[in-house]
Amino acid sequence: MDIGRTGKDFIKRAFPGLYSRWAGYKETLCRKDIQGILSQTESPQWYDSEAIFQELQSRHPPYPEYGYDTYRTWERGVDRAAHLIETIEDLRQPGLNILEAGCGDAMAGHAFACYGHQVTLVDIEDWRDGRSKHLRFIQGDLSRVLPLASEAYDLVYSFNTLEHVKEPATMLSELIRICKAEGYIYLKFNPLYSSPWGLHASASLRMPYPQFIFSENFITKKVKELGIFDLGREKDELQPLNGWSCEQFISTLKNSGCEIVFLEKIKTQAHLNIIKEFPLAFRGRGLSYEDVTISGLSMLLRKNNNVMSGNTKV
């Protein structure tokens, strides 16, 4: 039995106010330590050591599998569609035009179609689940102008895509363009690049923050040795990442001209000990405390009538 954890759980239940103040105090001290490391201006140092790599790899258990089997893709798709229908009351009336950007297996689109909506899918390549093959699919680069009419969709949504596209501002601009006035744009994506699992390599590299601890050449060598399993299949290379910070995403959203219905920052502080253990890897990068602790963003925008749209046609 972990006596320390048991005692902490008891105090948390018995004295919630006291525990909250204690936790806030501990976070303040930790934040100060981390900011002190991140604010150093000397050039960062890599820890390209096989011994360090193996020690970190053995210290952390395998990251939970995301799951691309038949059941998990269906469950995830239904959960996503149901969450949006719960969040946006307009979606409870079937018959709306919906677009999924960066659709992947497209099972959320399949769920929306089963509910009674008209669904269009867009992605740079087609690897849809067979159950979503009946939906309209358009191959397109979300970093460029899409071959879709302006103001055509009541809802445009995207999961786990914005952190990958080369030009996130262009993608957001296009999603706003094709959304109807008073329509909705929903975006949820993680992990952000500077967060613990931001390299999107957790199936190969089990330790947090490898993108800062090791050099790119060292990481390339290790993932080739270990193999890359991503998106439910073996791959030759890691997914591309744009490396945008949390602040870059939020600033772009605020300048979009849309109403921000809600914006949620998904926080993780579980691995800040790694920054304290390898401080030289994190200095001189211009990182903030928010960069290394915000793992994802979830947001709902509503397009105002005064937001201008272009005239791109299908």
Co-location of 155 and 268 in the same domain: yes
**Overall number of domains in the chain:** 2
**110 in a domain, yes or no?**
no
Co-location of 19 and 55 in the same domain: no
Write down the pLDDT at residue 27: 76
Co-location of 31 and 62 in the same domain: no
**239 in a domain, yes or no?**
yes
Paired with 184 in beta bridges are 155, 302
Mean confidence (pLDDT) of the chain: 91
Co-location of 34 and 53 in the same domain: no
**252 in a domain, yes or no?**
yes
Over residues 102-123, the mean pLDDT reads 98
24 pLDDT higher than 70: no
Paired with 299 in beta bridges are 187, 263
**256 in a domain, yes or no?**
yes
Co-location of 147 and 7 in the same domain: no
Co-location of 20 and 169 in the same domain: no
Over residues 136-140, the mean pLDDT reads 97
Report the 3 state secondary structure along 13-53: HHCHHHHHHHHHHHHHHHHHHHHHHHCCCCCCCCCCCHHHH
pLDDT category at 65 given cuts 50, 70, 90 is confident
Residue 279: give the domain boundaries. 45-68+141-314
- For residue 84 the two structure tokens come to 């949006």
Co-location of 14 and 56 in the same domain: no
227 pLDDT higher than 50: yes
What percent of the chain lies above the pLDDT cut of 90? 80
Co-location of 1 and 61 in the same domain: no
The helix (run of H) or strand (run of E) holding residue 265 is: strand 259-267
Over residues 76-94, the mean pLDDT reads 98
Per-residue b/e over 144-183, b at no fewer than 16 CB within 10 Å?
Answer: eebebebbbbbbbbbbbbbbbbeebbbbbbbbbbbbbeeb
Euclidean distance between CA atoms 213 and 234, whole angstroms: 25
Co-location of 189 and 169 in the same domain: yes
pLDDT greater at residue 19 or residue 238: 238
Write down the pLDDT at residue 314: 34
pLDDT category at 234 given cuts 50, 70, 90 is confident
Paired with 159 in beta bridges are 188
Co-location of 62 and 195 in the same domain: yes
Over residues 165-187, the mean pLDDT reads 97
200 pLDDT higher than 90: yes
pLDDT category at 155 given cuts 50, 70, 90 is very high
Q: Which amino acid is at 266?
A: I
CATH number for 190: 3.40.50
Write down the pLDDT at residue 312: 38
Q: Closest Cα partner for 246 from 162, 152, 179, 308?
A: 162
Over residues 125-134, the mean pLDDT reads 96
**87 in a domain, yes or no?**
no
pLDDT greater at residue 45 or residue 22: 45
Co-location of 229 and 269 in the same domain: yes
**82 in a domain, yes or no?**
no
Over residues 149-153, the mean pLDDT reads 97
E strand residue ranges, 30-126: 97-101, 118-123
Q: What is the pLDDT of residues 259-278, one digit of tens each?
A: 999 999 999 999 999 999 99
Write down the pLDDT at residue 238: 87
**CA max distance for the chain:** 65
Euclidean distance between CA atoms 29 and 43, whole angstroms: 25
pLDDT category at 214 given cuts 50, 70, 90 is very high
- Going by their DSSP bridges, the two strands 179-189 and 118-123 should be labelled as unpaired
What predicted TM-score, i.e. pTM, was given to this entire model?
Answer: 0.89
Over residues 62-88, the mean pLDDT reads 94
4 pLDDT higher than 60: no
**131 in a domain, yes or no?**
no
Co-location of 201 and 56 in the same domain: yes
Apex CA 230: angle with CA 227 and CA 233, to 5°?
85
Q: What is the pLDDT of residues 32-63, one digit of tens each?
A: 999 999 999 999 999 999 999 999 999 998 88
**247 in a domain, yes or no?**
yes
Question: Which CA distances in Å does 285 have to 38, 43, 175, 243?
Answer: 7, 8, 31, 12
Write down the pLDDT at residue 10: 61
- Determine which of 38-47, 153-162, 224-233, 238-247 has the lowest per-residue pLDDT on average: 224-233
